[in-house]
Amino acid sequence: MSNKSKLGLWHTTTLQEAQSARQQGQQGQQQSYQTVAVAGQKRPPPDGLLPAEPQQNAASSTKRTTLSRPSVILSKEPPRLTASSIGCADNFAVGAGAGQPSEYTQRRAFPSTPTAPVDPLLSLSHPIYGLPEQLIANFSALGIKTIYPWQKHCLLGPGLLAGEKNLVYSAPTGGGKSLVADVLMLRRVLLDRGCKALLVLPYVALVQEKVRWFRNVVSGISREDPSQTQPNAQGLWAKRADKDTIRVVGFFGGSKIRATWADFDIAVCTIEKANSLVNAAIDDCSVSQLKSVVLDECHMIDDGYRGYLLELIATKLLCVGQELQIVAMSATLTNIGLLKDWLQGHSYETHYRPVPIEEHLVYEGKIYPVGTTASLIKAATQLDARGAPTQPRVQHLREIGPSPHREFKDSVLNAVVALANETARAGYGVLIFSSSRAGCETDALLISRVMPSSKEIDPAVREKRSDLLGDLRSLTTGLDPKLKQTVPAGVAFHQERELLASAYDAGVLKVCVATYSLAAGINYERVILHNARMGRDLVGPAMLRQMRGRAGRKGKDEVGETYLCCRQNDLEAVVDLMQGDLPQISSCLISDRRRIRRALFEVIAIRLATSREALDDYISKTMLAYSAEPGSIRENLEASLADLQEMGFITVDDYSNFEVTKFGKAIVASSLDPDDGIFIHSELKKALQAFVLDGEMHFLYNFTPVQDFGGTAINWRVFWDEMQQLDESGMRVMDLLGLKPYVVNRMLHGGTMKDKTAEEKDAGRRYHRFYLALQLRDLCNEAPIHRVAQKYGMPRGAVQSLVQTCEGFAAGVIKFCKHMGWGAMGAAMDHFSDRLKAGAGADLLALAKITSVKSRTARIFWGNGFKSVAAVANADPSELLPVLMQAQPSKARLEIEDEQKYKGKLLAKAKIITDSANKIWQMEMRLQIDEE
């Protein structure tokens, strides 16, 4: 092996490369390299601006080795690595079994689930479920032809199909729990034309995925007018007189559309958006249309950060006193009886999984079976600190060989890479949970270097991966350089979940590395946990079960596998984690007075409860009333009402009823936390006196979230450098906010930020928000996300999440301004928020509205003379082809047939662009005619 491989270096000099080639007896051809920056040299130009090296024959290539000025060079691709082999424990030897798949390849027999011919009630077409034929056909097209026995028993619970009773149920991840809620909700929506339904999910990625799912499920289905036809005794339809389609809308992030029931039939929402929707509906008295609410992942109800809003949502709905079905579900509920009593409903619990899971512990390169938690504890406790047995040893199944590569010296990382490589080469998919976004990128890069080379990949798969890169490149966020490197190898990490999840389902990708939240809802044949941590903290038992439950895909796998790779200093903690029971959920309202304060504040603001009696009745319907002492509840109630009056959110009228102030109403309408609302109010009041309009920093500062976003630490060196480059407008913003250059300089040289008093904490917030605003400034000026991430030393995923969070926060701030009567400021911010969403300069905002024309492509359109929507709309698609070719990265010379195929795809994209531009242009023309 060369010195280069031994040292783990990616670069050598041309002289060293030539000498190495001569020593190995190689003659003739030398590899082409590009120069890279080293100390004392200029940085290379941006990607795509390096001049192409001239082609040389063997003779001229040899002459290059005699150059008098050797340069440091970097190969176009990092050097290939090899994954450690995995062998059976009884005959293991380093190098043995290389390239052979393990015996996890689904060749096992398991008891089959009963089918519809055995039990007719396992078919959704059975009259008892009362579902229309088109819906049944749509379910079948999506792979759902029958239901499981547990789903049948759950659906046939007392009063559930009729919508007369609430339901709380628990089923393992991957056990089909969502289908029960889907059927109950769709049945309510289809039977009543005026019915609205709400599905609440914890993550944006899940909302987007579920919107697509429901739109496919309800495709081609119409509803009746209940005033003209009614379902018969079995729930079946008579002849429909007035048909109506079903509208599915997702609510998350920074939507500028005011959420009203008129906009949708099924709303799929994040927790925060659902709370806002319910508040608005109760306030304007349209909540009577809401007939079905589904709370997914309801175990999060005792999450004090945001999950507690689920309790607020459900309690408000219990108080409205109307016909409404609440369905709450989770994979990790232990005290399901508490939720049953609180929601006054039916409960059901199952442990059935259609795809069994085989669990393993990986420690010091050895793979142990973990059929049960006790097996894991037994395996772990028989290993001492050196990995040696302390008592009769449990036989490990297989062993992972040591790696010769420096990159894989860590036994945990070596195990992750080896297992991922084994899975992919066997033709299956693998999901790897990493503890952080940065860790996801590192794992993906290393795994991609052991995957099959381009020559080993099927040409059709290689082409699909190239198409995927093109799709990623056309997004607003652009193509991450790391994804550009990993996707050709069939590996991806946590970005652009929709595209990458679809690519995985199609077999284009084999390995996905993600954090817990970004992998929610996706199942793979094999799941690997790169240690048992998320961030710095150990995962909890519930999250661990959720992560392991992602193994095994229904209808595709007969068995799923999980591997928990554990390092030495976590071994004891992992034992405790696996031994521990799932925690019992409880109300969060009493553990922090801010939460019960918000609960009271919201119901007063939306006029659901304004008297002491009504507030007492509201509190009696919370889950808190079922899990806390009445005395402590009363004490917190009194203190919270006093706090709300002191903070200026509510007042008491002459009849001892509570009223919300304009300030309080603005906070509730904008979905701000009350404590954050006070800070925002203070910041905006200062802005009213001297808003800096001749620049962008003041707008962006007010769009950054108040809370500590993702624990982002300030890089004071970057802060100082960026501050030095601010124009006069930016410096005036700093001065207005009270941000002092000498403080930044002090922090740069090891100072500390005081945070003991309220004033000191607010000052720290301002520095933190301004630092995030600097990142938003770069993004709004068309800097690619990966460049911003690199500049500020943040994972790309964190920067992308910052953009999404800021969009939602900006929408809230704009609503706050409008409710406070600050219309001019709200209008100015509303206009500027378009730049935040488009990630483009003001001149490109119109073009960025066109489908498939994002910031980078829009800039290229502008540079080629297409500076308006009308110009694009009136162009022939063939005129746009050269522009789209220019927007693509430089490609190696294609074969004639491949080049024609590539141009054909771009021409189809050009047609989509012109069609979209035509729709926008026609709409603008109609508006102009109406105004005249």
Q: Is 360-537+552-579 in the same CATH topology as 120-349?
A: yes
Q: How many other CB atoms are there within 10 angstroms of residue 281's CB atom?
A: 23
Q: Which is more confidently placed, 379 or 199?
A: 199
CA distances 779 to 188, 486, 835, Å, are 44, 24, 9
DSSP state at residue 174 = T
3-state secondary structure of 337: helix
Q: Which amino acid is at 894?
A: L
pLDDT score, position 699: 92
Nearest to 907 by CA among 881, 931, 882: 881
Taking the chain, what is the end-to-end CA distance rounded to the nearest angstrom? 78
pLDDT score, position 621: 94
In whole angstroms, give the CA distance from residue 870 to residue 877: 14
Both structure tokens of 378: 């037994």
Q: What mean pLDDT is reported for the chain? A: 79
Domain 120-349 sits in CATH at: 3.40.50.300
For the segment 804-850, what is each residue's pLDDT rounded down to a tens digit? 788 888 888 999 999 999 988 988 888 888 777 777 777 787 888 88
pLDDT score, position 226: 44
Between CA 514 and CA 482, with CA 718 as vertex, the angle to 5 degrees is: 30
Q: Over pLDDT 90: what percentage of the chain? A: 33
pLDDT score, position 5: 36
In whole angstroms, give the CA distance from residue 602 to residue 54: 69
pLDDT score, position 96: 33
Has residue 230 got a pLDDT over 70?
A: no
- Global pTM value: 0.78
Residue ranges per domain, the chain? 3-74, 120-349, 360-537+552-579, 593-660, 674-839, 848-931
In whole angstroms, give the CA distance from residue 736 to residue 832: 20
In this structure, of 206-220, 221-235, 304-318, 567-581, the range with the lowest mean pLDDT score is 221-235
When pLDDT is cut at 50, 70 and 90, the band that residue 197 belongs to is: very high
In this structure, of 32-36, 286-290, 619-623, the range with the lowest mean pLDDT score is 32-36
Has residue 646 got a pLDDT over 90?
A: yes
For the segment 793-817, what is each residue's pLDDT rounded down to a tens digit? 887 777 877 887 888 888 889 999 9
pLDDT score, position 619: 94
Residue 466 falls in which region: left (phi positive, over 0), alpha (psi -120 to 50) or beta: alpha
Has residue 60 got a pLDDT over 50?
A: no
Nearest to 584 by CA among 338, 341, 374: 338
When pLDDT is cut at 50, 70 and 90, the band that residue 859 belongs to is: confident
pLDDT score, position 361: 85
- Over residues 558-582, the mean pLDDT reads 77
In whole angstroms, give the CA distance from residue 699 to residue 309: 29
Assign domain 674-839 to its CATH architecture. Answer: Orthogonal Bundle (1.10)
Has residue 164 got a pLDDT over 90?
A: yes
Bridge pairing between strands 560-566 and 167-170: unpaired
For the segment 78-91, what is each residue's pLDDT rounded down to a tens digit? 788 888 888 776 64
Does the structural domain 360-537+552-579 have CATH classification 3.40.50.300?
yes
CA distances 801 to 560, 594, 698, 804, Å, are 31, 26, 21, 5
Q: Which is more confidently placed, 194 or 168?
A: 168
When pLDDT is cut at 50, 70 and 90, the band that residue 382 belongs to is: low
Has residue 258 got a pLDDT over 90?
A: no
Q: Which residue has the tokens 């959420």?
A: 259
pLDDT score, position 179: 94
Nearest to 515 by CA among 441, 423, 413, 412: 441
3-state secondary structure of 704: coil
- Over residues 744-750, the mean pLDDT reads 93
pLDDT score, position 388: 55
When pLDDT is cut at 50, 70 and 90, the band that residue 115 belongs to is: low
Has residue 51 got a pLDDT over 50?
A: no
pLDDT score, position 16: 39
In this structure, of 17-21, 544-548, 673-677, 679-683, the range with the lowest mean pLDDT score is 17-21
Domain 593-660 sits in CATH at: 1.10.10.10
Q: Over pLDDT 70: what percentage of the chain? A: 78
Q: Which residue has the tokens 């063939």?
A: 878
Whether 259 and 280 have beta carbons less than 8 Å apart is answered as: yes
Q: Which is more confidently placed, 269 or 494?
A: 269
Contacts 24+ apart (CB under 8 A), 610-614: 610/657, 610/658, 610/659, 611/656, 611/657, 611/658, 612/656
When pLDDT is cut at 50, 70 and 90, the band that residue 556 belongs to is: low
pLDDT score, position 773: 93
- Over residues 316-334, the mean pLDDT reads 91
Maximum alpha-carbon separation in the chain: 99
Has residue 374 got a pLDDT over 60?
A: no
Sheet containing strand 34-35, edge to edge, reads: 11-13, 72-74, 34-35
pLDDT score, position 2: 39
pLDDT score, position 833: 82
- Over residues 375-388, the mean pLDDT reads 55
For the segment 453-498, what is each residue's pLDDT rounded down to a tens digit? 878 888 888 888 888 887 787 666 667 788 888 999 999 987 666 7
